[in-house]
């Protein structure tokens, strides 16, 4: 059997020697041309990178062209269908949150707000933060080398060298911990600075040109501006500050660690492992759920849930009177469980994604790293000296430490993709707020209209815009009056009012009285015709339920002025007390020890009648040329009403009143009467004659109501 076995073994040995020879020749050929091969690989990677950048730029240009074409088509379609419901639904279609050109444009706009210039404090913080990031990476390299030296001393059994390395390791911990603390401080400070800049910018736009009113009353694209300003701006700022640290440091670590590793284990191994890592990263990216969209939807649902609670608080009295707590509970529960259902869905997606991410990043890439670190042990790198056991151990530990740092950095880069998607969600919501505010300030509104006559009939009126001219007197020329839901209440209203002509506006509910004053106050756009009116500061509005601000008693009288403005006008507290005496309100100053500086929740402290008298005192303080009084005496006595109107007229204020109380007729000289059918009458008001006519009308109505009873009695008498 021995000769036969030897015959079988010989071919196997020959094949093994042949394979070894081929491998040896290839290895020798590679080592002899290693420099040229490395240069070719690096040049190829550089060309591939340049080509990829060119393709990305070309895709962005093509995307911008497609968006321009779509916008042109949308404009054409909208004009063709006259704001049809389908076109409106297209406009209101939710935007998909993704890393596209729109996201980068929105982010660039927000960056210009939070970092206004190179000399700003935010720029100095970013530069300081970047310096500490570089220092932290260099310290990490030093610590990796020191770890290898400590293990080398331990393997050699050199106790003195070991203790010396430990002392140095403890000393370098001082700047390392200081650097980490500074990085945390810079990140928190940047987040705070970003939020401050963005909040101030939004407040400036939100509280100018009545934008806050337009968002809530004239446009329905944003339901919860308070949520966006108070919560989403903070989340965006925090996410942006975190992203810089979580993206800049890993990229820096990857670059420095990769260069150091390539010197130790050869650039080819690093390139080969990078290709495998890139391949697995592409797989992960393809399987990553759209977390940015999830975050945006979660923030929207959170805002809607909060808005429902705010709405219940605002209308608590009405809900209580209707005993609607069960219906409101169902609404709140539905909003909450919709939110929780979405959050649970996100948690499930994150569970599966985290499982995949941890396996690939921690274990698959870890196995590749161990293979890379073993290269100096099993393969002789050209130009590297012969190493003993201690040198090999030091090299392995140092390389592994750097590899773990690079792997951790790459993992954070991969994790940052999810953070970027979350940032995209916050960016989308904050930028949508800015876009809507820009549209409102430019006079563009988007509101879903539910007109009783159909928006098609009113489309021409709704699309038009009239002209507003500043004037001393008030004059409307063919101005359409539109209701909030899109109904044309009056197609062409025309009247004129000079200073001193006190106007009474009457008519049934929903006839256009409030809409008229909203146009006059500049709250609503003018859809046609021409409006001549005084500047905004010359018109003062007092609603049925006046607004009482937070602050002192003095601030309730001088609102919206501040104490400094009041002093600049030369008005003293004694003058304010005189105003209160006109309305028998001087006792309010004596109710509190602080006097004028007393602060309270005045809406709860004062009764409805006292609130209306405080609002009238506010009117007497400002003394405007015109005053709009919307049922503002409904909770006061006739005697108090008389004092209020007579003092207002004596101060030279032209009154425009909405009221059904006959007692007010005598204070007005003009009347504008709507019939609720689109018609109106504007004429002089003879209060005495009108009262006589109204009394006669009521007497006749009483007689008419008695007619059926008289007819029935006549029939009974006839039958008898």
HEC assignment per residue over 370-383: HHHHCHHHHCCCCC
Mean pLDDT of all residues in 67-85 = 47
The Cα 99–Cα 103 span in angstroms is 6
Instruction: Could you list the beta-strand ranges (E) of 424-535.
Output: 467-470, 474-482, 488-497, 503-506, 530-533
152 CB neighbour count, 10 Å cutoff: 24
CA atoms within 13 A of residue 611's CA, in its CB half-sphere: 20
| Spatial contact of 239 and 423, defined as CB atoms under 8 Å apart | yes
For the residues 444-454, what does the mean pLDDT come to?
Answer: 64
Q: pLDDT above 70 covers what percent of the chain?
A: 72
676 φψ region: left (φ > 0), alpha (ψ -120 to 50), beta (else): left
The segment with the largest mean pLDDT, out of 479-493, 545-559, 614-628, 694-708, is 614-628
pLDDT at 270 over 70: no
Q: Is the dihedral of CA 124, 128, 133, 137 positive or negative?
A: positive
Nearest to 99 by CA among 284, 285, 300, 377: 285
Confidence of residue 516 (pLDDT cuts 50, 70, 90): confident
What strands lie across the sheet with 474-482, from one edge to the other?
Answer: 467-470, 530-533, 474-482, 488-497
Is the pLDDT at 434 greater than 80? The verdict is yes
9 pLDDT higher than 60 = no
Q: Is the pLDDT of residue 101 over 50?
A: yes
- Parallel, antiparallel, or unpaired: how do β-strands 530-533 and 488-497 relate? unpaired
Chain position carrying tokens 């792997």: 407
Per-residue pLDDT, averaged over 683-695, amounts to 73
Residue 526: phi and psi, rounded to 5, are -95, 115
Contact 682, 671 (CB under 8 A): yes
- Reading phi first (left if > 0) and then psi (alpha if -120 to 50, else beta), residue 656 is in beta
CA–CA distance, 143 with 136 (Å, rounded to integer): 10
Q: What angle do CA 694, 698, 701 make, to 5 degrees?
A: 135
CA distance 289 to 247: 20
CB 127 within 8 A of CB 115: no
How many CB atoms are closer than 10 A to CB 719? Answer: 6
| Count of CB atoms situated within 10 Å of the CB of 215 | 22
Q: How large is the average pLDDT for residues 518-535?
A: 85
Looking at residues 492-499, what average pLDDT do you find?
89
Distances (CA, A) of 542 to 579, 616, 632: 17, 8, 6
Point out which residues pair with 542 in neighbouring strands. Answer: 629
What pLDDT score was predicted for residue 654? 92
* Closest residue by Cα to residue 485 from 527, 452, 446: 452
Closest CA to 543 of 405, 451, 635: 635
**DSSP-derived secondary structure letter, 359:** I
User: What angle do the packed helices 389-441 and 365-373 form, to 10 degrees?
Assistant: 140
670-674 vs 680-684, strand pairing mode: antiparallel
pLDDT tops 50 at residue 92: no
Question: Distances from the Cα of 292 to the Cαs of 297, 434, 689, in angstroms?
Answer: 9, 19, 70
Q: What is the pLDDT of residue 198?
A: 92
Of residues 454 and 329, more confidence is placed in 329
Q: What is the pTM of this model?
A: 0.64
> Which pLDDT does position 440 carry in this prediction?
86
507, 657 contact by CB (below 8 A): no
Containing 267, the helix (H) or strand (E) segment is helix 267-287
19: tokens are: 């394979």
For residue 150, report the phi and psi dihedrals to the nearest 5 degrees: -65, -45
Residue 65 has pLDDT above 80, yes or no: no
Average pLDDT for 398-403? 66
Q: Is the pLDDT of residue 89 over 50?
A: no
Alpha carbon distances (Å) from 301 to 223, 291, 308, 330, 350: 11, 15, 11, 16, 19
């Amino acid at each position: 059997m021995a000769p036969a076995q030897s015959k079988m073994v010989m071919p196997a040995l020959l094949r093994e020697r042949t394979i070894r020879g081929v491998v040896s020749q290839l290895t020798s050929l590679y080592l002899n041309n290693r420099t040229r091969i490395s240069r070719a690989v690096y040049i190829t990677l550089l060309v591939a990178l340049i080509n990829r950048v060119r393709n990305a730029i070309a895709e962005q240009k093509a995307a911008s062209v497609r968006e321009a074409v779509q916008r042109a088509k949308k404009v054409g379609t909208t004009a063709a269908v006259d704001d049809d419901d389908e076109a409106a639904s297209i406009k209101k279609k939710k935007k998909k949150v993704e890393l596209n050109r729109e996201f980068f444009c929105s982010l660039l706009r927000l960056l210009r707000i939070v970092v206004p210039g190179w000399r700003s404090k935010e720029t100095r913080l970013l530069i300081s933060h970047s310096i500490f990031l570089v220092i932290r990476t260099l310290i990490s390299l030093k610590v990796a080398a020191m770890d290898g030296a400590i293990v080398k001393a331990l393997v050699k059994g050199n106790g003195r060298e070991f203790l010396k390395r430990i002392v140095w390791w403890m000393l370098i911990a001082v700047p390392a911990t200081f650097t980490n603390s500074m990085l945390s401080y810079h990140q928190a400070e940047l987040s705070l600075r970003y939020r401050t800049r963005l909040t101030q910018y939004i407040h400036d736009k939100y509280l100018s040109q009545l934008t806050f009113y337009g968002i809530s009353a004239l446009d329905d694209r944003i339901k919860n501006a308070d949520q966006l300003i108070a919560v989403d701006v903070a989340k965006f700022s925090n996410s942006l500050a975190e992203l810089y640290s979580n993206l800049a440091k890993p990229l820096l670590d990857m670059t420095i660690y990769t260069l150091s590793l390539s010197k130790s284990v050869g650039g080819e191994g690093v390139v080969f492992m990078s290709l495998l890592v890139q391949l697995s990263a592409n797989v992960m990216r393809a399987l990553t759920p759209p977390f940015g969209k999830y975050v945006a939807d979660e923030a929207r649902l959170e805002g809607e849930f909060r808005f429902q609670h705010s709405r219940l608080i605002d209308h608590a009295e009405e809900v209580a009177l209707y005993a609607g707590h069960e219906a409101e509970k169902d609404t709140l529960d539905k909003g909450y469980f919709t939110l929780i259902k979405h959050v649970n869905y996100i948690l499930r997606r994150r569970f599966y994604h985290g499982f995949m991410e941890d396996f690939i990043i921690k274990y698959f890439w870890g196995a590749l790293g161990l293979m890379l670190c073993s290269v100096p042990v099993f393969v002789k790198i050209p130009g590297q000296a012969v190493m003993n056991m201690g040198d090999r151990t030091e090299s392995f530990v140092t390389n592994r430490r750097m590899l773990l740092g690079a792997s951790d950095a790459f993992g954070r880069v991969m994790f940052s993709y999810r953070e970027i998607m979350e940032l995209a969600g916050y960016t989308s919501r904050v930028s949508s707020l800015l876009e809507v505010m820009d549209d409102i300030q430019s006079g563009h509104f988007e509101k879903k209209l539910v007109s009783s006559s159909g928006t098609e009939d009113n489309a021409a009126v709704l699309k038009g815009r009239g002209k507003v001219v500043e004037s001393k007197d008030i004059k409307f020329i063919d101005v359409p009056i539109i209701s909030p839901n899109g109904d044309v209440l009056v197609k062409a209203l025309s009247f004129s009012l000079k200073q001193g002509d006190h106007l009474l506006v009457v008519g049934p509910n929903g006839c256009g009285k409030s809409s008229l004053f909203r146009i006059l106050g500049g709250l609503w756009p003018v859809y046609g015709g021409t409006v001549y009116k005084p500047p905004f500061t010359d018109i003062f509005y007092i609603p049925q339920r006046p607004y009482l601000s937070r602050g002192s008693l003095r601030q309730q009288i001088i609102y919206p002025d501040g104490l400094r403005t009041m002093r600049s006008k030369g008005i003293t507290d004694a003058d304010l007390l005189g105003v209160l005496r006109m309305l028998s309100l001087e006792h309010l100053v004596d109710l509190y020890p602080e006097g004028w500086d007393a602060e309270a929740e005045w809406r709860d402290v004062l009764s409805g009648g006292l609130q209306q008298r405080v609002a009238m005192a506010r009117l007497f303080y400002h003394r405007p040329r015109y005053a709009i009084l919307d049922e503002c005496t409904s909770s006061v006595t006739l005697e108090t009403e008389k004092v209020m109107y007579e003092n207002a007229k004596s101060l030279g204020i032209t009154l425009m009143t909405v009221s059904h109380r006959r007692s007010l007729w005598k204070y007005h000289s003009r009347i504008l009467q709507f019939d609720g059918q689109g018609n109106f009458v504007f004429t002089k008001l003879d209060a005495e004659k009108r009262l006589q006519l109204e009394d006669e009308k009521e007497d006749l109505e009483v007689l008419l109501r008695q007619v059926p009873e008289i007819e029935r009695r006549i029939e009974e008498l006839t039958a008898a």
